Amino acid sequence: MQTVRTEQRKMREIRTGICRKVQKDHRGMSLVEVIVAITILGIVAVPVLHSLTTAMVYNQKARTRQEMTLTAESIMETFKGYDLPILFERFGGSGDASKKGEGGKGGTGIEGIDFETVDTDSGYRYKSEPFTIPYTAGAKTAKKYTFYIDDMKADNGKLYDVTITAEPNSIEDIMEPTQMEPTRDAVFLGNRDYDTQAHSKAVEDFLTNHKSDLLAEFGANAYADIGGEKQEITAALIESGMSIESYIKLDEKHLTFNIEEKDDNYEVNVELEFTYHFAEYPYYVKKGHSSVPDEYESMEGSTDGGTPAPKPDEWESKSLTWNNSTNAFAYSVTLPDAQIYKNPVEAKLGRLFIYYYPNYNLKPEPGTDSGVDKIIINNKTNITKFQCYILKQRTDALSNNSLKTKENGYKAYVEIKNPSGGSCEVFHNFKDNIGGGSSTTEPSITGAVGDYSYATPQLTTRFEKQEVLSYKLTLDVKQEGRPITTIVSTMNEKIKKSEE
């Protein structure tokens, strides 16, 4: 009996101990443990929250910059559509010029661009200051103008300050028709920005549309030399590490004018395209290596006294030049004013005036027609002896000496197409070195029924030289003094005889 009681007592003690242990395990976290956990959470959370906040702020700034860049481009294009006297009126109006620069207040401003009156500076105004024009004989003095739109109200509801600076660049001679007839004449005014941006746009197009195909062209086991280190070529490396910009080569520029009849109207629409290719990129193919030399090779270089060091990788040097399988790569420029003419057939469209900037960066390869700056007239109507006037324009980005040299080697290409039985005469200044030199390269003109150069009476009787002042335009958008975006362009202003 005593033994049974002893066993029962032992069982009670065991059960009591277990219960005590269970109760101990369920006491929860101590204060110290809670403090440690919160501290660790804080250490981890702070940088994560900071990163998220920074990313949100950056994305918001990027969206704002993108929105305001589009607005700035719209303002710039509208601004360039006015002559200076009209701009003075729109930015100054009938206000008192002595109070706000030269412009005063009260101008009608630019269509679609409103401002909010915050203080006395809100609205439109302008000022001028003397400026010496570079690259002109005698260094003539002109005026530099600054136009302001203070507290402009954007589509996002916020206010911005816009400043447009018109800085004189050079005085140039351009050819203008003696008499224009808006109902009969289609006029194209070139924009050199498309040429200066051509290469960067080609790189952007290539990375967007052909990156994966380029990876396939390199093939497997291909490596690029990045900073003296060979790295395997991947899509990510092509995107950010290979610096392919230097290997994108422009081939041709095609400026096409489509003349056609639609719904009893004559229309002239313009297309601009650049072609390019990927040229001579150096890369390497790994040929492998032998980890163990044969019995006749030296054991020198072993790392453990007995095992020979592995041989270095062996590489085969190669170069990749790649065009599209059917043609060169190409990208099209979206022109804001692609349609330059639309009038009823009864208006009798008869002439097309093309003022364009030569692209001097297109270099023909020996024995080929690549590297051409080509103008294509696609006359889909039955108009006969349609007159096309093609006139090179000077670029203010080049000095006379530089322009003279580039003009010596520049060759223009013109292709006339008449699929509907029409015909075209071409009048041009290709044989005139617009940099002041004495020689040019003979142009290539095909498909025209008549070809008349600058020096012939057929052209000189229809045109006269007009002196213009070229301005560099810089548009800045700021918010409370903080720069948001900047765009640059050019415009020409006729010089009146009284201003000389």
Q: Which of 214-223, 283-292, 370-379, 480-489 comes out lowest in average pLDDT?
A: 283-292
Q: Which of the pair, 74 or 364, is modelled with greater confidence?
A: 74
Q: Which of the pair, 204 or 15, is modelled with greater confidence?
A: 204
Band the pLDDT of 349: cuts 50, 70, 90.
very high
Share of the chain above pLDDT 90, in %: 17
Answer whether residue 452 shows pLDDT above 80. no
Q: What is the rounded average pLDDT of the residues 42-64?
A: 70
Which pLDDT score, from 0 to 100, does residue 380 have? 94
Q: Which of the pair, 361 or 463, is modelled with greater confidence?
A: 361
**Tens digits of residue pLDDT in 103-157:** 455 567 887 788 888 887 788 888 888 887 654 444 567 888 999 999 998 888 8
Q: Which residue has the tokens 């481009």?
A: 73
Which pLDDT score, from 0 to 100, does residue 266 have? 95
Which pLDDT score, from 0 to 100, does residue 97 have? 40
Residue 344 near residue 265 (C-beta atoms within 8 A): yes
Answer whether residue 338 shows pLDDT above 70. yes
For the chain, what is the mean pLDDT?
A: 78
Q: What is the rounded average pLDDT of the residues 442-455?
A: 80
Which pLDDT score, from 0 to 100, does residue 162 have? 94
Q: Which of the pair, 424 or 220, is modelled with greater confidence?
A: 424
Band the pLDDT of 296: cuts 50, 70, 90.
very low
Which pLDDT score, from 0 to 100, does residue 170 have? 72
Answer whether residue 339 shows pLDDT above 90. yes
Q: Which of the pair, 22 or 32, is modelled with greater confidence?
A: 32
Q: Which of 238-242, 316-320, 338-342 comes out lowest in average pLDDT?
A: 238-242
Which pLDDT score, from 0 to 100, does residue 38 have? 81
Answer whether residue 48 shows pLDDT above 90. no
Annotated domain spans of the chain: 49-171+473-499, 179-461
Burial label for 63, CB within 10 Å (0-12, 13-18, 19+), is exposed
Share of the chain above pLDDT 70, in %: 73
Which pLDDT score, from 0 to 100, does residue 100 have? 45
Q: Which of the pair, 251 or 365, is modelled with greater confidence?
A: 251
Answer whether residue 325 shows pLDDT above 60. no
Band the pLDDT of 99: cuts 50, 70, 90.
very low
Answer whether residue 168 shows pLDDT above 80. yes
Answer whether residue 426 shows pLDDT above 80. yes
Answer whether residue 96 shows pLDDT above 50. no
Answer whether residue 396 shows pLDDT above 60. yes
